[in-house]
């Protein structure tokens, strides 16, 4: 069966980091190793991590200085973990798992995801689910990424350090001819409410940087607002507001994606809108 390692981002996580990490350690199919990036915690998180490390030799810790809360560092921390793997020539695995300091996974989570990916080589990224509805795309937390495909992307084995990186990698693997999936029976849960710190700012702004079709963005807003799912009704209002008002920068984390990827995203969404409209016309 395929192997994997896990990347866990953490900041001021004393209330959840231990249970989150133990849920990885206690998987029926355990990771080869886990890399935790402690992004300047000011609470007891560092002490909890050191305590866990004493009896867990496969737990590696990267400690950053406290530079205040900044969501843009999440992807930089992911890349720091990937760089550590390369620099130390750590065990090469088939997949890597993106995890967080507030997610707990069912004991058979890894087994179900890896079994599925091993049996479906055309699927590059897959996650389980924590909601009562099936999402269109794999969740950011709890997703397994096939490393051989990850290394083929335009970012060559790293994540794009710009807004919308979680969705960008999904569109990129599709662009390369692969698929992604959500495995409903593989379950995990968040210990903190989604959107607590950021009010879905990046949900909306990322749709702009990735070139989302306006009708597609409006449809997503309508779905979330009417059903109350994913973001909740208030979150859906934040999301569409930021999509409409966001202004990208020329360089850095807040810049637009390259034209090729933005055009691919726009065309994919445009084609989907046409299919939906045609289906409704045929039903009439």
- Parallel/antiparallel/unpaired status of strands 103-105 and 95-100: unpaired
Give the DSSP per-residue string, the chain. Answer: ---EEEEEEESS-TTTHHHHHHHHHT-SS--S-EEEEEES--SSHHHHHHHHHHT-TTEEEEEE------TTHHHHHHHHHHHHHHHTTPPP-SEEEEEETTEEE-TTHHHHHHHHHHH-TTEEEEEEE-SSS--SS--STTEEEEHHHHTTSTTSSS--SSTTHHHHHHHHHHHTT-EEEEEEEEEEEESS-TTTTTTTHHHHHHHHHTT--HHHHHHHHHHHHHH--TTHHHHHHHHHHHHHH---BSSSTTBPPPHHHHHHHHHHHHHHHHHHHHHHHHH-
Regions of the chain where pLDDT drops below 70: 193-198, 280-284
pLDDT at 200: 87
The residues of the chain that CATH labels 3.90.550.10 are 4-190
What is the fold of 4-190? Spore Coat Polysaccharide Biosynthesis Protein SpsA; Chain A (3.90.550)
Q: How far apart are CA 279 and CA 132, in angstroms?
A: 26
Q: For 175-209, how does the pLDDT look when each residue is reduced to its tens digit (9 = 90+)?
A: 999 999 999 999 999 987 665 555 789 899 999 99
- Predicted TM-score (pTM) of this structure: 0.93
pLDDT at 195: 53
Structure-block tokens of residue 179: 């698929």
Select from 190, 11, 8 the least CA-distant residue to 99: 8
Q: For 144-175, how does the pLDDT look when each residue is reduced to its tens digit (9 = 90+)?
A: 999 999 999 999 999 999 999 999 999 999 99
pLDDT at 70: 86
pLDDT at 193: 67
Q: How far apart are CA 144 and CA 155, in angstroms?
A: 17
pLDDT at 48: 97
pLDDT at 252: 94
pLDDT at 131: 87
């Amino acid at each position: 069966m395929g192997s994997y390692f896990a990347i866990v981002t953490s900041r001021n996580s004393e209330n959840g980091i231990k249970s989150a990490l133990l849920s990885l350690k206690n998987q029926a199919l355990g990771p080869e190793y886990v890399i935790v990036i402690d992004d300047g915690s000011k609470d007891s998180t560092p002490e909890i991590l050191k305590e866990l490390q004493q009896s867990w030799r496969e737990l590696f810790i990267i400690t950053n200085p406290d530079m205040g809360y900044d969501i843009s560092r999440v992807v930089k921390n992911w890349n720091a973990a990937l760089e550590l793997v390369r620099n130390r020539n750590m065990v090469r695995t088939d997949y890597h798992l993106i995890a967080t300091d507030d997610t707990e996974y069912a004991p058979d989570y890894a087994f179900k995801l890896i079994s599925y990916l091993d049996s479906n080589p055309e699927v590059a990224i897959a996650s389980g689910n924590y909601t009562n509805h099936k999402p269109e795309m794999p969740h950011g937390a709890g997703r397994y990424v096939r490393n051989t495909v990850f290394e083929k992307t335009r970012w060559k084995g790293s994540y794009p350090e710009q807004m919308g990186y979680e969705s960008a990698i999904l569109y990129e693997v599709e662009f390369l001819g692969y698929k992604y999936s959500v495995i409903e029976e593989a379950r995990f849960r968040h210990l903190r409410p989604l959107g607590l710190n950021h009010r879905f700012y990046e949900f909306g702004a990322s749709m702009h940087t990735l070139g989302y079709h306006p009708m597609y963005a409006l449809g997503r807003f309508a779905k979330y607002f009417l059903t109350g799912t994913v973001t909740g009704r208030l979150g859906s209002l934040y999301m569409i507001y930021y999509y409409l008002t966001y202004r990208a920068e020329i360089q850095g984390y807040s810049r637009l994606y390259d034209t090729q990827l933005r055009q691919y995203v726009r065309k994919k969404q445009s084609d989907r809108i046409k299919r939906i409209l045609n289906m409704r016309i045929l039903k009439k």
